[in-house]
Structure 1
Amino acid sequence: MTGPNRRADRSAEERALDEVLAAILPPGIHADCRVIRDGDQALLLPDEAASITSKRNPMRDASGAARHVARGLLNQAGLAVAPLMKSPDGAPVWPLGVVGSMAHDDDFAVAAVASAASFSGLGIDVEPGEPLAEDVAAIVRMPGDVLDGVEERLASRLLFAAKEAVYKAVFPRDNVILDFEDVVIDFTRGEGRTRTGRNVKLVYILKPRIVVLAFEPV
């Protein structure tokens, strides 16, 4: 994996996730992570800060951490670097010629970027390695979802992350809001299919944190 935080003073948590995530990245996709720290909102560029309407410090810290990671990835990959503003629909605005995605949970921020010449869609999601609440799991899993081979304790949480990642990968092109029933995941085939006709490839890790990457090659 390439990333702006690949340095000697990275935390043990960052190094552990970095190592495992690097092993699953398809060629041409760059991804990295950062533990969200108090005060990370200071990493937001002025235009980015103005585009984020939430005044809650935890949300602004997470946004700062994710954008810091993403801008570093763009720079290291030789892609266009620009402030990553938040659009009115909530999605980040990427520079021309770039596809990308950012995500965070309470503790970690992750980002992935690639050239739009190689990938038409890219989505990433991160979740803690803990079971999903049963009431949420009941609305996430659909009859067509295939979870064979996935650790049962984490299967629903992984499915949640996969559907989120697929949605992020396809929304910029289709501009269609998808619910959980609109995305079918098959982990044995490593793919997600949407009711809009998209077929997106998937890779994932379960430990030390759940991360799912959804991508659609050109």
Structure 2
Amino acid sequence: MAAIAPVGVRTGCRVIRDGDDAHLLPNEAHSIPARQPAMRRASGAARWIAHRLLAELGVDNVGILRAPSGAPVWPDGIIGSLAHDDDMAVAAVAPVGHISALGIDVEPAQPLPGDILALVTIPADRTDAADRHLAGRILFAAKEAVYKAVYPLDREVLGYEDIAVDLNAGHATTKTGRRASLAYCAAPRVVVLAFVEAR
């Protein structure tokens, strides 16, 4: 993950473990309505990573609350993103600067089921550069990461059909005209990082 991240962006990952819900700070735990133990463990694991990345930037003991939209609320001067699948949690953070928005997503390194692929793909998508077995999964993760990156900027709910991904060129464009750069790795998990450069 560190190899795909642009300069200034810090990333981390963690296998989700029993007891990871204990890593939630009290105010974080209060802001996360999920009662399912698996969801709270995943949220705790992602925030454990993010707290350590923030500490590297000199930001300590700050809760990353969950907004009503579901997005994490970052400290002033920081942008970031959290994600998890059933087994792995990931996070990316950066100081506000030449990058104005970040999104990250993680998925198993397995082909995307055909019914989901049909929902995600639009004619404008380009995935020729990706491993053909994982192209659908990378496409799915890319659209999730782009949405996380651009929502704080545009405050517009986007569907998969509203995001055109070009893995060949390494970027995506939303129906609002927002352009995000993409970087990804496909092993041992599919991780996609989307970022918007400041104008």
TM-score bucket (shorter structure)? over 0.9
CA deviations 1:6-48 (Å, max 9, x no partner) are: xxxxxxxxxxxxxxx1211111000000000011000000000
Aligned length: 198
Which residue in 2 is equivalent to 1:3? none
Instruction: State the shift of 1:79 in Å.
Output: 4.5
Deviates more, 1:30-39 or 1:76-85: 76-85
Which residue in 2 is equivalent to 1:51? 31
Q: Are residue 158 (structure 1) and residue 148 (structure 2) matched?
A: no
Q: Are residue 119 (structure 1) and residue 104 (structure 2) matched?
A: no
Once residues 84 and 35 of structure 1 are traced to their aligned partners in structure 2, the CA distance between those partners, rounded to angstroms, is 20
Q: In percent, how many aligned pairs have the same letter?
A: 53
Which residue in 1 is equivalent to 2:51? 71
Amino acid at match of 1:82: V
Instruction: State the shift of 1:81 in Å.
Output: 5.4
Instruction: State the shift of 1:124 in Å.
Output: 0.2
Once residues 61 and 182 of structure 2 are traced to their aligned partners in structure 1, the CA distance between those partners, rounded to angstroms, is 26
Q: Are residue 107 (structure 1) and residue 93 (structure 2) matched?
A: no
Q: Are residue 139 (structure 1) and residue 119 (structure 2) matched?
A: yes
Unpaired segments ≥5 residues, structure 1? 1-20
Once superposed, what is the RMSD of the aligned Cα atoms?
1.0
Query: Of the candidates 84, 88, 91, which is equivalent to residue 71 of structure 2?
Result: 91
Which residue in 2 is equivalent to 1:199? 179
Instruction: State the shift of 1:212 in Å.
Output: 0.2
Amino acid at match of 1:136: I
- Look up the SS of the partner of 1:162 in the other structure: helix
Once residues 81 and 112 of structure 1 are traced to their aligned partners in structure 2, the CA distance between those partners, rounded to angstroms, is 17
- Look up the SS of the partner of 1:66 in the other structure: helix
Name whichever structure is richer in strand by fraction: 2
Which residue in 2 is equivalent to 1:190? 170
Q: Are residue 176 (structure 1) and residue 176 (structure 2) matched?
A: no
Once residues 154 and 34 of structure 1 are traced to their aligned partners in structure 2, the CA distance between those partners, rounded to angstroms, is 22
Which residue in 2 is equivalent to 1:210? 190
Provide the TM-score with structure 2 as the length reference: 0.97
Instruction: State the shift of 1:77 in Å.
Output: 2.4
Mapped contact 2:51–2:60 kept (Cα < 8 A): no
- Look up the SS of the partner of 2:13 in the other structure: strand
Instruction: State the shift of 1:194 in Å.
Output: 0.3
Amino acid at match of 2:97: A
Provide the TM-score with structure 1 as the length reference: 0.89
Unpaired segments ≥5 residues, structure 2? none
Amino acid at match of 2:163: V
Which residue in 1 is equivalent to 2:4? 24
Amino acid at match of 2:6: P
Instruction: State the shift of 1:211 in Å.
Output: 0.1
